[in-house]
Structure 1
Amino acid sequence: MATLQTPLHPSALRRIAAAYREDMGRRERSILVSWAGFTGSFAAVRAITHAIHAGKGPFKNLSVGGEHLHHYMWGIASLAGVGALEVAGKEQRRHHPMVALAYGFGLALIVDEFALLLDLKDVYWAKQGRISVDLGIATVALGGTAFAATPLWRRLLDKSWSDRRSAVIARSPRTATAT
């Protein structure tokens, strides 16, 4: 009798890890890690801010000199670090999964407070603050869709490139004289 293997079953985890290493290119791995980092961070920061707002759990707002430090600031710092690595980092560091994770994390912190940045007013808990939630959900949905369609995009781009290359070869003077 076959046993049911859930995604967390050790053999399933080994297959997932092998597929990640062997079947995905560096670019696809970076996209997946940054998308997962964004999704997880966006969900976590929403949960934490709701806990702070409700006065539950160990979390508190961070203030310096009586000024509240919004979490988009940490997002900007994260993206600045990722940008510095991309501009001046060594190749192996630029493509490290932690860079992709930091990118997703930083972007999530900024998107979560997008409404504040849009109006320069703290509307996080107001009706206008909903735009940040909508943008975050749209980013997760579109990012997931684009990532899931990677094989389709690759095939379409390869076919388009192949068709263009064939058209150029067909018009080249060497090909025209050979026929």
Structure 2
Amino acid sequence: MKPAERLVHRAGAGSADSGGTPAAKVVDFHKEVHRAYLEELGPSERAALLSWGGFTGTFAAVRGITYSIRSGKGPFHNVSAGSTHLHHYLWGIAMLGGVGAIAVRGSDERRRHPAVALSYGTGLALIVDEFALLLDLQDVYWAKQGRVSVDIGIGIVAAGGTVFAGLPILRRLVRNRRPARPA
């Protein structure tokens, strides 16, 4: 039994039309999204969506964590090796190095694996978030006016790219939710 089927079984739900439990409805919606993902997007489109999604999610998470560290709130702390602070762009460069190695030397099956596309978007977000540091513009990185505008700009681009890459799925979900027209 697949994990999604176990959830439906545990929830005691029937079909999507049976008005099952809220958990069953979530599982049914998840199945509908997954089916649309597989049927509406080709391999390249899936890779683009995963890359944009990885970028958007990582960028948002890193911004939240970074602000938490900066304000001294929450469980997060800077990572250091001895007295040297390790910026998160280093992890992004390592991820892109791994993606590049797979692209150059990996089989078609490995290059097309969803984790490669997700890693690409994630690694890129880790680098882009600290781009000012890479350019040695340290004073600009935390200047409030500059930082807020950069965060908003990159956030809008990331969200827009993710939505654009997922449009075929969104169109199908909207189409499936409309009531049927009488013949």
Fold match by TM threshold 0.5:
yes
Partner of 2:173: none
Gaps of 5+ in 1: 152-179
Indicate if the aligned counterparts of 2:52 and 2:121 stay in contact, CA closer than 8 A. Answer: yes
Match of 1:133 among 151, 158, 164: 151
| Deviation digits for residues 113-170 of structure 1 (CA, Å, limit 9, x no counterpart) | 122223442543223434541442243144135425679xxxxxxxxxxxxxxxxxxx
Partner of 1:117: 134
Letter in 2 for 1:139: V
| Equivalences for residues 62-77 of structure 1 within 5 A | 62-77=79-94
Gaps of 5+ in 2: 1-16, 170-183
Partner of 1:13: 30
Does 1:143 pair with 2:161? yes
Indicate if the aligned counterparts of 1:34 and 1:105 stay in contact, CA closer than 8 A. Answer: yes
Aligned pair count reads: 151
Letter in 2 for 1:94: R
CA change 1:132–1:110 in 2 (3 A) is farther
Letter in 2 for 1:137: G
Using the TM superposition, give the Cα deviation of residue 44 of structure 1 relative to its aligned residue in structure 2, in angstroms: 0.5
CA distance in 2, matches of 1:132, 1:149: 25
Partner of 2:65: 48
Larger Rg: 1
Indicate if the aligned counterparts of 2:49 and 2:166 stay in contact, CA closer than 8 A. Answer: no
Percent of aligned pairs with the same amino acid: 51
Partner of 1:107: 124
Normalising by structure 2, report the TM-score: 0.71
